[in-house]
A and B are shown apart, each in its own frame.
Chain A
Amino acid sequence: MSVNWQNMSFRDRREALQGYLSISPWVIGFLLFTLGPVLVSVYFSLTQWTITSPAEWVGLHNYIRMFTNDPLFWQALKVTGNFVLISVPLKLIFGVALSLLLNLKVRGMNVYRTIFYIPAVISGVAVSLMWIWLLQPDTGVINTLLALVGIKGPGWFWDPQWALFSVALMSVWSVGGSAIIYLAGLQNIPPHLYEAARIDGAGAWQRFWRITIPLLTPTLFFQLLVEMIESFKVFTQAFVITKGGPLKATYFYLFYFYEEAFQNFNMGYASALAVVLMVIIMTATIILNHTSKHWVYYAAEREEAK
Chain B
Amino acid sequence: MTKKIRNFSYVLLIVMVLFSACAGKQATTVAPVEEATQETAAETAEAPAAEPTDAPEVQEPVTIEWWTVNSEEYTEQVQRDMAAAFEATHPNIKVNITVLPGDGFSEKMTTALGAGEGAPDVAFFWDSNWFPEALDLRPFIERDNFDTSMYIDGFWKTRSLWGDVVVGLPLGVGAQFVLYNKDVFDEMGVAYPSADWTTEEYLAIAAQLHDSDQGRWGSDRPRRPFRALWFNYGPVVRLYSEDSMTVEGYLNSPESVTAYEWAWDLVDTGATPTPADIEVLGTEGTGPVDLFMAGRLAMATLNQGHMLNALDAGVNFGIVPEPKVAGNEGFVNAWSLTSSIWKGTEHPDEAWAFLSWWAGPEGQRYLMENGNLFPSISAVLNEYEGADEEYAQAFFKVLELTQVSEWRNAHPCNSTVLRAVGDVWDKIMFGEIERDQIKAELDAIVPAAQDALDECRERLGG
Chain A interfacial positions (CB closer than 8 Å to B): 48, 50-53, 65, 69, 71-72, 125, 128-129, 132-133, 136-138, 155-158, 240-241, 243-248, 259, 261-269
Contact = CB atoms under 8 A, between A and B. Distances in A.
Contacts, number: 79
Contacts of A245: 422, 426
Interface in B98-149: 106-107, 110, 113-114, 129-133
A128 B131 CA distance: 34
Contacts of B419: 72, 259
Contact of B279 (A69, A132, A138, A267): A132
A5 to B, nearest CB: 39
A264 B461 contact: no
B7 interface: no
A50 B460 contact: yes
9 residue pairs, one from A and one from B, having the closest CB atoms: A52-B132, A158-B276, A265-B129, A51-B114, A246-B426, A247-B426, A52-B133, A137-B276, A158-B275
B430 A241 contact: no
B38 interface: no
A240 B430 contact: no
Contacts of A125: 284
B455 interface: yes
B260 to A, nearest CB: 16
A240 B113 contact: no
A157 B422 CA distance: 16
Given A50-B129, A69-B451, A132 B280 contact: yes
Contacts of B133: 52
Contacts of A138: 274, 276-277
A155 B277 CA distance: 11
A268 B456 CA distance: 12
Given A246-B275, A246-B430, 20 more contacts: A51-B113, A52-B130, A52-B133, A69-B451, A125-B284, A129-B283, A132-B279, A137-B276, A138-B274, A138-B276, A138-B277, A155-B276, A156-B276, A158-B430, A245-B426, A248-B423, A263-B415, A264-B415, A264-B456, A266-B459
B281 A129 contact: yes
17 contacts: A50-B129, A51-B113, A52-B132, A53-B461, A69-B451, A128-B283, A133-B280, A133-B281, A136-B276, A158-B276, A240-B283, A243-B224, A246-B275, A247-B423, A247-B426, A262-B107, A268-B459
B427 interface: yes
Contacts of A128: 283
B459 A132 contact: no
Contacts of A263: 415
A149 B419 CA distance: 40
B283 A71 contact: no
Contact of A136 (B280, B426, B459): B280
B109 to A, nearest CB: 10
A120 to B, nearest CB: 21
Interface string B293-310: 000000000000000000
Contacts of A53: 132, 461
B23 interface: no
Contacts of B280: 132-133, 136
A293 B262 CA distance: 61
Interface string B408-434: 000000011001001100110110000
B276 A267 contact: no
Interface string B187-204: 000000000000000000
Interface string B264-298: 00000000001111011101100000000000000
A52 B412 CA distance: 14
A262 B275 contact: no
B455 A65 contact: yes
A133 B279 CA distance: 9
A188 to B, nearest CB: 17
B88 interface: no
Contact of B427 (A72, A129, A247): A247
B448 interface: yes
Contacts of B415: 263-264
A248 B426 CA distance: 9
Nearest to B129: A265
Contacts of A132: 279-281, 283
Contacts of A240: 283-284
A129 B224 CA distance: 20
A156 B459 CA distance: 38
Contacts of A157: 276, 279
Contacts of B284: 125, 240
B47 to A, nearest CB: 34
Contacts of B461: 53
Q: Which of B224, B275, B423 has the most CB of A within 10 A?
A: B275
Contacts of A261: 110
A264 B114 CA distance: 13
Contacts of A247: 423, 426-427
A265 B133 CA distance: 13
Interface string B431-462: 00000000000000000100100011001110
B105 to A, nearest CB: 11
Contacts of B107: 262
A264 B276 contact: no
A89 to B, nearest CB: 28
Contacts of A266: 459
Contacts of A158: 274-276, 279, 430
B426 A262 contact: no
B423 A241 contact: no
B455 A265 contact: no
B348 to A, nearest CB: 18
Contacts of A269: 459
A262 B281 contact: no
Contacts of B451: 69
